[in-house]
């Protein structure tokens, strides 16, 4: 068997292969993303800093998404591939994305003109500048949907208990939070408190002890997060 392998072993080919790997490795290590920054913005803040560019009326009164920025510990990542942005064609899709990720520099379009490129230029910019840098893991549709999932708990939304639980769980490095809801008569449970548990020195987040969890007060379905 070994003899067979040896007879077919082409030194030249191996050399070229090693050379190729050595050439590509630093490139892939330096340009691959190692973490993601989920950036949200306070609309009133954006408009105070950029009064001339602030066009959105009414201005949202919740934090909205600016972007999801893939990063690398040694290098700034920007415009990593040439993959172009795909315009949303459906008004409902546009509206769903706009709800959490509005372009504050544009007025609200109508159903007739929402397809104009200017009404998606912010998303296009974010995709090209940042999204393409995590494209190997999150192709465009996934990049947008996963980013929106990260912000799925906001006042006025009707999240499910499990989505609130898992979002907080991920946000605090996979530790169990303690949710507390109050259920008014004949209504859905309303989210009132989110508890995060620490060690006594307050240096480390831990799972909230299961024996005292109040998450059961939220039931198992949709809850209300009043605006
Ligand atoms: P980046 O280009 O890295 O995504 O972020 C910086 C730029 O985003 C700044 O020029 C800032 O003005 C812009 N920006 C932040 N929020 C918005 C927004 O809602 N709409 C648009 N068009 N630009 C925004």
67 lines ligand 1 (CB under 6 A): yes
**Ligand 1 centre and the CA of 110: distance in Å?**
22
**Ligand 1 centre and the CA of 125: distance in Å?**
9
Q: Choose which residue among 122, 126, 127 to substitute to test ligand 1 binding: the one with the highest number of ligand atoms within 8 A of its C-beta.
A: 122
In this predicted structure, what is the pLDDT of residue 16? Answer: 61
Q: What are the CA-CA distances from residue 118 to residues 40, 113, 125, 217 (Å)?
A: 21, 10, 11, 45
47 lines ligand 1 (CB under 6 A): no
pTM for the model stands at 0.74
In this predicted structure, what is the pLDDT of residue 4? Answer: 41
pLDDT value at 133 more than 50: yes
Cβ neighbours for 137, distance < 8 A, ≥ 6 positions apart: 33
Sign, CA torsion 127/68/88/55: negative
Listed range (8-17, 79-88, 195-204) with the worst mean pLDDT: 8-17
Sign, CA torsion 226/45/100/73: negative
Residue 49, H or E segment? helix 43-49
Find which of 10-24, 37-51, 73-87 is predicted with most confidence, using mean pLDDT.
73-87
In this predicted structure, what is the pLDDT of residue 201? Answer: 85
127 lines ligand 1 (CB under 6 A): no
In this predicted structure, what is the pLDDT of residue 91? Answer: 97
Which tens digits make up the pLDDT trace of 107-130?
999 999 999 999 999 999 999 999
**Ligand 1 centre and the CA of 121: distance in Å?**
11
pLDDT value at 191 more than 50: yes
Looking from the CA of residue 104, the nearest atom of ligand 1 is: 19
In this predicted structure, what is the pLDDT of residue 215? Answer: 97
In this predicted structure, what is the pLDDT of residue 20? Answer: 53
**Ligand 1 centre and the CA of 137: distance in Å?**
24
Contact between 126 and 143 under an 8 Å Cβ cutoff? The reply is no
In this predicted structure, what is the pLDDT of residue 150? Answer: 82
124 lines ligand 1 (CB under 6 A): no
**Ligand 1 centre and the CA of 166: distance in Å?**
29
Pairwise CA distance, residues 35 & 137, whole Å: 12
In this predicted structure, what is the pLDDT of residue 29? Answer: 45
Percent of the chain with pLDDT over 90: 67
In this predicted structure, what is the pLDDT of residue 22? Answer: 45
The tokens of 108 are what? Answer: 């609200």
């Amino acid at each position: 068997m070994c003899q067979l392998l040896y007879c077919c072993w082409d030194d030249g080919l191996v050399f070229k292969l090693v050379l190729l790997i050595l050439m590509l490795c630093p490139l892939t290590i330096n340009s691959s993303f190692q973490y993601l920054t989920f950036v949200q913005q306070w609309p009133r803040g954006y408009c105070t800093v950029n009064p001339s560019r602030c066009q959105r009326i009414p201005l949202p009164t919740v934090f909205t998404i600016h972007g999801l920025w893939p990063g690398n510990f040694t290098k700034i990542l920007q415009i990593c591939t040439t993959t172009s942005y795909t315009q949303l064609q459906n008004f409902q899709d546009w509206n769903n994305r706009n709800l959490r990720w509005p372009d504050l520099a544009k007025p609200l379009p109508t159903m007739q003109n929402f397809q104009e490129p200017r009404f998606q230029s912010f998303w296009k910019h974010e995709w090209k500048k940042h999204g393409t840098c995590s494209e190997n893991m999150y192709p465009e549709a996934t990049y947008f949907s996963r980013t929106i999932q990260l912000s799925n708990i906001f006042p006025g939304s009707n999240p499910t208990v499990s989505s609130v639980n898992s979002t907080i769980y991920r946000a605090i490095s996979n530790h169990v939070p303690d949710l507390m809801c109050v259920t008014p008569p004949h209504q859905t449970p309303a989210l009132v408190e989110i508890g995060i548990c620490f060690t006594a020195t307050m240096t480390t987040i831990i799972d909230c002890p299961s024996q005292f969890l109040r998450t059961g007060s939220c039931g198992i379905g949709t809850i209300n997060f009043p605006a």
